[in-house]
Amino acid sequence: QLNMAKKKEAFLKEFKEGPLQFKPTYKFDLYSEVYDTSEKKRKPAWTDRILWKVKNLCEDASKEGEFPEEENLISVTLNNYVSHMSYGISDHKPVTGTFKLEMKPLVSDPLVMLSHEGAWSAEHDVLIRYSAVPEFPSSAWDWIGLFQVTFRHVNDYITYAWVEDDEISSNKDSKQVYMSASEIPRMGGEFLLCYYSNNLQSIVGISEPFQV
């Protein structure tokens, strides 16, 4: 029925679905894995489905002639599409999908370039050098965070320094900021630095990984 509708209904044609490699998820007797034994004895069906569609910014822009078609800014890969037969509180079995989402940056060059200076350890204060593009809208509330290379969210910082309060030198090309030795993790490891822009509410620069 769904495949028939996808051929007929224009708004469904661009939606994708993973392979149905699980048993029908409807209709079950409650609290069991037994298909409908009521008087109606409904035929098992794949009633619960997950469809997806990615709307890329370049699609709209290319239609308006702003720039030619190019690679999608967002790509989605289905990693896992399964049912969960152990749940029995409904006559349906739940279905879940796990996706990998990749987003290409809207700008090719970072707004802020930053790097660590010298050898970093918890034995002494450390220095960060950074520079920003001329049009960058900096703020007194911007900060530079120290992150493990495996960080997943902007709030995963180990410590941070305010770009203005902790600044120790400045010239037309770059600025220096310090971090206190007491804030540097003693266990060491591989880390990187991220510049967070308060005005843009996002990370706008990431350093190369380095050892502490």
pTM of the predicted model as reported, rounded to 2 decimal places = 0.56
Work out the pLDDT band at 75, boundaries 50, 70, 90: confident
Question: Taking the mean position of all CA atoms in its chain, how far away is CA 147?
Answer: 16
Same structural domain for residues 98 and 129? Answer: no
The whole-angstrom separation of Cα 35 and Cα 45 is: 10
Provide the domain limits for residue 160: 112-211
> Can you give the CATH number for the domain in which 17 is found?
3.60.10.10
Per residue in 37-47, pLDDT (tens digit) is 999 999 999 99
Q: Which of 104, 130, 157 is the last residue of a domain?
A: 104
Tell me the pLDDT tens digit for each residue of 90-103. Answer: 999 999 999 998 87
Mean pLDDT confidence for 185-190: 93
- pLDDT score, position 55: 79
Is 135's pLDDT higher than 70?
yes
Q: Within this chain, do residues 46 and 30 fall inside the same structural domain, yes or no? A: yes
Q: How many CB atoms lie within 10 A of CB 196?
A: 21
Residue where one domain finishes, among candidates 69, 104, 139 = 104
Range 146-175 average pLDDT: 94
Per-residue pLDDT tens over the stretch 10-31: 989 889 999 999 999 999 999 9
User: 72 falls in which pLDDT band (50, 70, 90)?
Assistant: low
- The pLDDT assigned to 192 comes to 97
CATH of the domain at 191: 2.60.40.2840
Number of domains in the chain: 2
pLDDT at 106: 64
> Do 22 and 60 lie in a common domain?
yes
Is the separation of the CB atoms in 178 and 160 below 8 Å? no
* Least confident interval from 7-16, 99-108, 159-168, 191-200: 99-108
